[in-house]
A and B are shown apart, each in its own frame.
Chain A
Amino acid sequence: NFMLTQPHSVSESPGKTVTISCTGSSGNIATNFVQWYQQRPGSVPTTVIYDDDRRPSGVPDRFSGSIDRSSNSASLTISGLKTEDEADYYCQSYDNTNRVFGGGTKLTVL
């Protein structure tokens, strides 16, 4: 079965840039779109990137997404980090008809 692997945690200072990776276990991650969700403690997830690299309205352009076919991975990059960006981030793609989530990455902004 197709799986998505994310680093368990990352940390960076305010104002800096951080990148969270999401690596597919097999196949070609570019075959299906990748979504990225942000989940703050006690809240439901919200979408920060959809269809690999698009931002929903209201999401600041500090958030960007990309696909690297050579490493079969997707990435979420957050620039100009703010303390409010501290949250769990999940990538999500597809395995035929089913949706697959990555294990999540806890971002600490300190």
Chain B
Amino acid sequence: QVQLVESGGGVVQPGGSLRLSCAASGFTFHIYGMHWVRQAPGMGLEWVAFISDDENRRYYADSVKDRFIVSRDNSKNTLYLQLNSLRPEDTAMYHCAKPLNYYDSKSYFDSWGQGTLVTVSS
């Protein structure tokens, strides 16, 4: 079955950096575009970023554009999110999410990882 396991979260000072990872298994990772979604404590869901299967397309929410970088290593079945210039408002649980269909990047999310917590605080 599909498994998505995030790691790399932690406590970081404002202005700092972190790299999150999402290890995927149970599906053909290299043909799927993948997403990151975050959820601040007690708050709603916020879409963060998308990367296509071949890395040629990368899209970001305005709130993270020019600070976060999404990437992937298909040989390792792993998705990454580099978080730079972190702000307190970036504090959240970060989830990777897989769409239902590899051929439709807009299909709904059918699998989510449990998430990794990022806390930005001095």
Which residues of A are found within 8 Å of B47, using beta-carbon distances? 92, 98-101
Stretch at the interface among B10-18, B22-30, B75-83, B108-116: B108-116
Count chain B residues whose beta carbon lies closer than 8 angstroms to a beta carbon of A. 22
Candidates A51, A56, A90, A98; contact of B44 at CB < 8 Å: A90
Count A-B pairs with CB separation below 8 Å. Answer: 53
Q: Say yes or no for B2: interface residue by CB 8 A criterion.
A: no
Which residues of A are found within 8 Å of B109, using beta-carbon distances? 35, 37, 45, 47
Which residues of A are found within 8 Å of B107, using beta-carbon distances? 50
Which residues of A are found within 8 Å of B108, using beta-carbon distances? 35, 47, 50-51, 56, 92
Which residues of B are found within 8 Å of A24, using beta-carbon distances? none
CA separation between A103 and B109, bound complex, in Å? 17
Q: Which residues 20-48 in B have Cβ within 8 Å of A in the complex?
A: 35, 44-47
Which residues of B are found within 8 Å of A94, using beta-carbon distances? 106
Interface of A is mostly: strand
Whether A90 touches B62, Cβ cut-off 8 Å, given contacts A44-B112, A47-B110, is no
Q: Which bucket holds chain A's interface residue count?
A: 20 to 34
CA separation between A86 and B61, bound complex, in Å? 30
Which residues of B are found within 8 Å of A47, using beta-carbon distances? 108-110
Let me know if A98 and B61 touch, CB within 8 A: yes
Q: Which residues 62-81 in B have Cβ within 8 Å of A in the complex?
A: 62
Chain B residues with CB under 8 Å of chain A are: 35, 44-47, 50, 57, 59-62, 95, 100, 106-110, 112-115
By Cβ-Cβ distance, the 7 closest A-B pairs, closest first, are A44-B112, A99-B47, A104-B44, A50-B108, A35-B108, A101-B45, A97-B59
Chain A residues with CB under 8 Å of chain B are: 1, 32-33, 35, 37, 39, 44-45, 47, 50-51, 56, 88, 90, 92, 94, 97-104
A/B interface sample: 26 pairs, CB < 8 A? A32-B106, A33-B106, A35-B108, A37-B109, A44-B112, A44-B113, A44-B114, A45-B45, A50-B100, A50-B107, A51-B108, A90-B44, A90-B45, A92-B45, A92-B47, A94-B106, A97-B50, A97-B59, A98-B50, A99-B47, A99-B50, A100-B47, A101-B44, A101-B45, A101-B47, A102-B44
